[in-house]
Amino acid sequence: MKESPNKIAVAPMMDWTDRHCRFFLRLLSPGAMLYTEMVTAAAIVHGDADRFLRYNAEEHPIALQLGGSEPEWMAQATAMAAKFGYDEININVGCPSDRVQSGQFGACLMARPDIVADCFQAMQSETDIPITVKSRIGIDDRDDEEFLRTFVTTLVDAGCKKFIVHARIAILEGLSPKENRTVPPLDYERVYRLKRDFPELEIVINGGLTQIGHVDAALQQVDGAMIGRQAYHQPYFLAELERHFDAAKGVPSREDVVEQMLPYIDRQLANGVPLNSISRHMLGLFAGQPGARAWRRYISEHAHREGAGSEILVNALNAMPAVA
Ligand SMILES: Cc1cc2nc3c(=O)[nH]c(=O)nc-3n(C[C@H](O)[C@H](O)[C@H](O)COP(=O)(O)O)c2cc1C
């Protein structure tokens, strides 16, 4: 019996996994947990909460990722998010960017598990929705097993049951966020050992899972696999995973997915959303297939133009050379 695709999650990715992207990815993966981009608690509490929290009903199961370190704000943002019906709320303890460090949240908080635990408890007291944590395996010179253990134990004592672990450390100074996703080496074994040490926890592994074989290997050891860049750059990978886990289940073709996006696009355009805000997430749909370049190029050249509508996607399909 192969593992269920519900053990798959799509990673939170700023500027990428917005509601349009998630609607699109859901067509490729009926079961994966989809994470929002990180939203700061302050933005929700003091800003336009509806703008940050709304999503399409089709996106379930969906997790909101929150950034922050102020328990009261994290709790208030959680209470507001709970009303929107999210399936999980996740605390960002993995993002290394400067902006995030200055606000005292993200990966630097791995050194302050007490603060994360206070946030966790304040948040969980507002709702029954599971509150989870996404972290790295370490930060800077704290690249040791004990550091990760102390972090996890403090959160477990506060009641946390699910951890998503990006299997590399974050270097808080000297590397850009992008470099922090490639330069520190992946260490899956450390995440696997974490699961063995805390078998009662739900452990989801993240980082560099770009092939079905990687996901299979990971699911032998831990409870779930979170996929980031591969799901964005080659979204059909999610459909291939679905097919791999359940060969009997039909998955839509790439063309079916385009077809299914058209009414969604029409509805969004009627609400004033520009086509490009949606179509930009679909550029990788044909990645690796004949015609992928023509698809990308047609959309890139036409979707931003004034008055561009869903017909651009149909034209883009037609612009692809016919495959014999
Ligand atoms: C464009 C981009 C934006 C990201 N934004 C976030 C974020 O908001 N919150 C977060 O926890 N991780 C963020 N990440 C990190 C991913 O969630 C993930 O941990 C990382 O990309 C490693 O997984 P992958 O190798 O499967 O891509 C981002 C990654 C990318 C590429």
C-alpha 208 – ligand 1 centre gap (Å) = 11
Domains of the chain: 5-245 (3.20.20.70), 254-319 (1.20.120.1460)
Tens digit of pLDDT at every position of the chain (324 positions) = 455 567 999 999 999 999 999 999 999 999 999 999 999 999 999 999 999 999 999 999 999 999 999 999 999 999 999 999 999 999 999 999 766 555 678 999 999 999 999 999 999 999 999 999 999 999 999 999 999 999 999 999 999 999 999 999 999 989 999 999 999 999 999 999 999 999 999 999 999 999 999 999 999 999 999 999 999 999 999 999 999 999 888 899 999 999 999 999 999 999 999 999 999 999 999 999 999 999 999 999 999 999 999 999 999 999 998 865
d(CA 122, CA 131) in angstroms, rounded, equals 10
Q: What Rg value do the Cα atoms of the chain yield, rounded? A: 20
Q: Length of the chain in residues, anyone? A: 324
Q: Has 95 been annotated as catalytic?
A: yes
Residue found under tokens 């695709």:
5
CB of 209 shorter than 6 A to ligand 1: yes
**Residue 111 per-residue DSSP state:** G
C-alpha 248 – ligand 1 centre gap (Å) = 32
C-alpha 128 – ligand 1 centre gap (Å) = 26
CB of 181 shorter than 6 A to ligand 1: yes
Buried b (16+ CB within 10 A) or exposed e, 267-276: ebbeeeeebb
CB of 14 shorter than 6 A to ligand 1: yes
Q: Which residues contact 55 (CB under 8 A, 6 or more apart)?
A: 19, 22, 36, 62, 84
* Backbone phi, psi, residue 142, to 5°: -90, 70
Closest ligand 1 atom to 231 CA: 26
Closest ligand 1 atom to 92 CA: 11
- Measured between its terminal Cα atoms, the distance across the chain in Å is 36
What pLDDT sits at residue 6? 78
The three-class DSSP label of residue 301 is helix
Q: Whose CA is nearest to atom 23 of ligand 1?
A: 207
Closest ligand 1 atom to 90 CA: 11
Q: Whose CA is nearest to atom 26 of ligand 1?
A: 228
C-alpha 12 – ligand 1 centre gap (Å) = 6
What pLDDT sits at residue 138? 97
The residue whose CB lies within 8 Å of the most ligand 1 atoms, and thus the one to mutate among 108, 176, 181, 238, is 181
Strands (E), the chain: 8-10, 33-40, 62-67, 88-93, 131-136, 162-166, 202-206, 224-227
Single out the catalytic residue among 21, 95, 119, 160: 95
C-alpha dihedral (82, 123, 51, 282), degrees to nearest 10: -90
The three-class DSSP label of residue 88 is strand
Query: What does the block give as tokens for 179?
Result: 């470099």
Neighbours of 174 (CB within 10 A): 9
CB of 166 shorter than 6 A to ligand 1: yes
Closest ligand 1 atom to 209 CA: 26
C-alpha 311 – ligand 1 centre gap (Å) = 32
Q: Calculate the alpha carbon distances from 158 to 117, 152, 154 in Å.
A: 6, 10, 6
Q: Which residues contact 179 (CB under 8 A, 6 or more apart)?
A: 171
Q: Whose CA is nearest to atom 21 of ligand 1?
A: 228
d(CA 138, CA 169) in angstroms, rounded, equals 4
Residue type, 174: G
C-alpha 303 – ligand 1 centre gap (Å) = 26
What pLDDT sits at residue 1? 43
What pLDDT sits at residue 322? 80
